[in-house]
Copies of this chain bind each other. A is one copy, B any other.
Amino acid sequence: MRDELLQRYADLVVEVGANVQPGQIVSVQADTEAAPFARLIAASAYRHGARFVDPNYVDTYVKRARLEHAAEDTLDYVPPWYGERLLAHGEHHAARISIVPNPSLGILDGIDPKRAAKDALPFLPETFQVINARTTNWTVVAYPTAAWAGVVHPELDAEAALERLWQEVEHVCRLDEPDAGAAWGQQRDELRAVAERLTERHFDALHLEGPGTDLTLGLLPGSVWAGGGDTNADGIEHLSNLPTEEVFTAPDPQRADGVVRATKPLVLAGSTLEGLTVRFEGGRAMQIDADANAEVLRGHSELDDGAARLGEVALVDAAGRIGKLGTTFFTTLLDENAASHLALGNAYERSAPEDVERLNRSAVHIDFMFGGDDVSVTGIAQDAARIPVLRAGKWQL
């Protein structure tokens, strides 16, 4: 039963997520815990004509040993061949498939968060360069493990927790539909329609209001909203996130004022931040608080100038499958698609060419959720008119 589901899931990742083309090199990045899924994806890619599958396993146990024992001034070291390999994937116009959570959840429990914040691997800053060059067709997908299921459903025994998590992933990936590929075609069309309507409004700013949240963030004159996947420079359509429920754009990094309260926990460098609030002035995060581990995000936000400014605002309505589950997955891929979110750090280049220079630049990109049924989103037009965008989780456009 699980085997049959895993096989269909692997095929969906290859066909719809990355949309692997005959003759392509296919990078598969996975935690060692996800090896069973990586192997099925690799086999599916070869059946679809891949020239070479390049498995790239990341071992969270080795990362833990580093954080426990290595000298503190070495923890931010990344061998140059890590980024070079990723850039080579871009140069070879590879398909890229990343399996999350990575690092694996649970294995870094108890590590000093200040040390953990210094080691961003497996994340590489070159990721933005490759994504923005649009040379690869890529996707990020999730693989339920026992350890992850235990974090998500601690109230269940191990077997039941894993079964529940699998049911949820099957549902949100639309693998419970008779034709998952067709279901994703429909979802893609709907998200693209919403993104187009938002782009056409040319809002000057967005106003976010909810419990603990009152934030106005500026948009750039040429802001383009995206959603429902991407088409790369070679004309290959792909779903960068599988599942995806969001539409998003890059805000003006110089204009954000007010406070935003996260509505989901943020998992960062192995630490969980609950009750996160961020206060912005002039586009810059001036104050970061949380019930615990706030110092982890503070550390990240100090890594470079752009790390304390916004690189993304994404909107998710309440019709999506993820938010309805009411589950916190402690994994950005799923949680960010459950609710509207902001990201500190680097922007994806989705704006008009004249705005590209103004987008936020950073070595980091950290999403945190602010959305929910009690959070409203209002567009502020160039003439200062207030246009409802989201009310009680429903699109108003």
Contact = CB atoms under 8 A, between A and B. Distances in A.
A51 B74 contact: yes
Contact of A62 (B32, B53, B85): B53
A200 B288 CA distance: 73
A149 interface: no
B81 A52 contact: no
Contact of A85 (B53, B66, B70, B81): B81
Chain copies in the assembled complex = 2
Contacts of A80: 88
B39 A53 contact: no
A374 interface: no
B35 A52 contact: no
A260 interface: no
Interface string A3-41: 000000000000000000000010000001001001100
A55 B62 contact: yes
Contact of A69 (B47, B70, B71): B47
A43 interface: yes
Contact of A38 (B42, B46, B59): B59
A74 B52 contact: yes
B55 A57 contact: yes
Interface string A299-337: 000000000000000000000000000000000000000
A46 B32 contact: no
Of the four ranges (under 10, 10 to 19, 20 to 34, 35 or more), the interface on chain A belongs to 35 or more
A69 B57 contact: no
A42 B62 contact: yes
A52 to B, nearest CB: 5
Contacts of A46: 65-66, 68-70
Nearest to A50: B70
Contacts of A71: 49, 51
A54 interface: yes
A376 B239 CA distance: 66
A81 B79 contact: no
Interface in A64-91: 65-66, 68-71, 74, 77, 79-81, 84-85, 88
Contacts of A35: 32, 59, 61
Most buried by B among A39, A47, A59: A59
Contacts of A53: 62, 65-66
A52 B32 contact: no
Contacts of A57: 32, 55, 57, 59
Contacts of A77: 51-52
A134 to B, nearest CB: 21
A66 B44 CA distance: 10
Nearest to A49: B71
Contact of A42 (B39, B65, B84, B92): B65
Question: 8 smallest A-B Cβ distances: which pairs?
Answer: A46-B69, A43-B65, A57-B57, A42-B62, A39-B61, A81-B85, A81-B88, A46-B65
Interface of A: 25, 32, 35, 38-39, 42-43, 46-47, 49-55, 57, 59, 61-62, 65-66, 68-71, 74, 77, 79-81, 84-85, 88, 92
7 contacts: A35-B59, A38-B59, A39-B59, A51-B70, A51-B71, A51-B77, A55-B62
